[in-house]
Amino acid sequence: MPSALFAPLPLRAVTLPNRIVMAPMCQYSAEPSGPQVGVPTDWHVQHYGSRAVGRPGLVLVEATAVSPEGRISPYDLGLWNAAQVSGHRRLTALMRQQGVVPGVQLAHAGRKASTGRPSDGGGALAPEEGLGWQVLAPSALPFADGSPLPEALPPERIGEVVAQFAAAARRAVEAGYEAVEVHAAHGYLLHEFLSPLSNHRTDSYGGSFEGRARLVLEVVDAVRGAVGDDVPVLTRLSATDWAEPEGWTADDTVRLSGLLREHGVDVVHVSTGGNVPDATIPVGPGYQVPFAARVRREAGVTTAAVGLVRDPQHAEQLVAEGEADLVALGRELLLDPYWPVRAARELGADWSLPPQYDRAELLARRDERTASSATTA
């Protein structure tokens, strides 16, 4: 029987060659200031080039800020100017050469912005330190003890954020990206608007579910308008704050996912958490898959499941049994850039490394046959 994981998936004018997605993972490796701020570097070229050689169906480039103040750290990628567009073209060209669909995640970090790199110890960067800036949020509520106090976005500035997402989406297409993901998860700005734990507004962008979801839908509409009808739009959601019933819930996610489908979103990429610093999360293999399965079933939208899916047989089962349409891998692809090729071998699918590596591929298959013959002899 053909592998479900390696079946193509049409999305508008794009067809993914398989159902494996490289999830966005920040590298914190861009220049923090100067003319090359936010521009992909040689590190990004080798990092994404290596994963493209492994040939997942879709590579989603890490959270890429729609504005300088939307960066998580000063070392994030951006798409708010022309120099950044040129840098991103290096990445998209590499991916297309390997038959991989290049995608990018557009993001605004909100109250979790202006932090140091994890390798430098993280922590908030104060504006007076030079690299930090004033952070923004739906309400003047810090993320955690010791986090900076954000400025509550006034209504007239919310429109600026929508316009920044739209402009970044246009630049993404100009840079060669064939899919765009709107980041509305993990406690960043759009998720902050969704959750009643971080959104205490009393205007039309707060209060009810409809008010809290308003900004996400406006951003999605603006991005869809910016990229046109042929480009797939994904939205990443945190299905729960892991703080029910006070926080954002799985029921809310199903309801929002149906609206996103109506507003032109093609895939809902289902994650969890990130908005509550002390949340208790039952982490384990596939721990977020049930949320993706419910969104797919109840909202009638194509979904990507993510969350410690490491075993090819597990990934195959998720797609074959209709738990998700796509399987996104994060840390596993950091450890093994060629995971899709290993999965293809295990599942008997016709998927291989580029021809430059044919010799290694042929030797590996010969060794497998030899080992099999020795076992059965």
Per-residue pLDDT at 105: 99
Average pLDDT score over residue span 24-40: 97
pLDDT beyond 70 at 370: no
CA distance 135 to 113: 6
User: 115 near 32, Cβ under 8 Å?
Assistant: no
Please pick, among 48, 188, 287, 338, the residue that the annotation labels catalytic: 188
Average pLDDT score over residue span 202-229: 98
Q: Quick one: pLDDT band at residue 356, thresholds 50, 70, 90?
A: confident
Phi-psi region of 273 (alpha: psi -120 to 50; beta: other; left: phi over 0): left
Cα atoms in the Cβ-side hemisphere of radius 13 Å centred on 212: 23
Average pLDDT, rounded, for the chain: 94
User: 148 near 138, Cβ under 8 Å?
Assistant: no
Helix (H) or strand (E) holding 270: strand 267-271
For tokens 């699918």, the residue is: 349
- Annotation says 188 is catalytic: yes
State the pTM of this model: 0.95
Strands 14-16 and 9-11 come out as antiparallel
CA distance 190 to 59: 22
pLDDT beyond 90 at 377: no
Q: Which residues contact 123 (CB under 8 A, 6 or more apart)?
A: 115, 116, 146
Q: Quick one: pLDDT band at residue 1, thresholds 50, 70, 90?
A: confident
Q: Which residues contact 4 (CB under 8 A, 6 or more apart)?
A: 19, 316, 319, 320
Condensed to tens digits (0 to 9), the pLDDT of residues 179-206 reads 999 999 999 999 999 999 999 999 999 9
User: 60 near 181, Cβ under 8 Å?
Assistant: yes
